[in-house]
Each structure stands twice: as C-alpha cells, then as structure tokens.
C-alpha cells in the first residue's frame, strides 16, 4: 500500500518516543477515573458520561500538582536513561 515508504520507529525519520511513562493520562488519569467512575455502577451511557464529567471536575488541585511533580521526575529519569522507557521505575512518594 505504501511503495518505497518505510513506516517504522527505526526508519529514516527519528520519531520521538511516545512513552506512557511520560503521559499523565496513561500513568495516572485513566486508572484513577476508572476506579471512581464505576463506583456507583452506571447502567446507561448517559450515567457513565455524567460520572466521567463529575469525577474529572472533582479531581483535587493538590492531586494534579502531585501528578505534575511526578511528571517532572519522570522526565528527568527518562533524560538520564537517554530516552529509554522506565519499565522498572515506580514513582511513589
């Protein structure tokens, strides 16, 4: 479908890594929201959407600040590892 084209992370174009280690939605938000959104066991899409809206609005500012502090630590660790994934690193304080 793509003659003479290479679609690969190891191709001619140095693609930046897309690491879940460095994406707050991946390392924090989705798991947190899932644990909160399903507490009252929504039975309709409308209820589910309402729960999502309410839980996002209810995330405390202090929690967001901790997430971004962790993100800074993750950036620093990734930089020390020359861009490698942080598979063996657990960030908890």
Give per-residue pLDDT as tens, 29-86: 888 999 999 999 999 999 999 999 999 999 999 999 988 888 888 888 888 888 776 7
Residue 6 lies in a domain: no
Domain span at residue 26 reads: 20-80
pLDDT tens, 19-37? Answer: 667 788 888 888 899 999 9
Tell me the CB-side half-sphere exposure of residue 83, using CA atoms within 13 A: 5
Place of tokens 């997430």: 67
Residue 72 lies in a domain: yes
Residue 1 lies in a domain: no
Instruction: Say what the pLDDT of residue 25 is.
Output: 83
Residue 54 lies in a domain: yes
Residue 36 lies in a domain: yes
> Which pTM does this prediction carry?
0.61
Residue 27 lies in a domain: yes
Give the end-to-end CA distance of the chain in Å, rounded to a whole number.
49
Domain total in the chain? 1
**Which stretch, 15-19, 42-46, 87-91, has highest mean pLDDT?**
42-46
Residue 13 lies in a domain: no
């Amino acid at each position: 479908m793509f003659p003479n084209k290479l679609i690969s992370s190891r191709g001619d174009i140095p693609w930046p890594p897309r690491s879940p280690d460095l994406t707050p939605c991946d390392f924090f938000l989705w798991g947190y929201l899932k644990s909160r959104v399903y507490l009252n066991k929504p039975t309709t899409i409308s209820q589910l959407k309402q729960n999502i809206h309410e839980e996002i609005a209810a995330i405390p500012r202090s929690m967001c600040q901790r997430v971004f502090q962790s993100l800074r630590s993750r950036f620093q660790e990734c930089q020390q590892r020359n861009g490698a994934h942080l598979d063996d690193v657990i960030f908890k304080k």
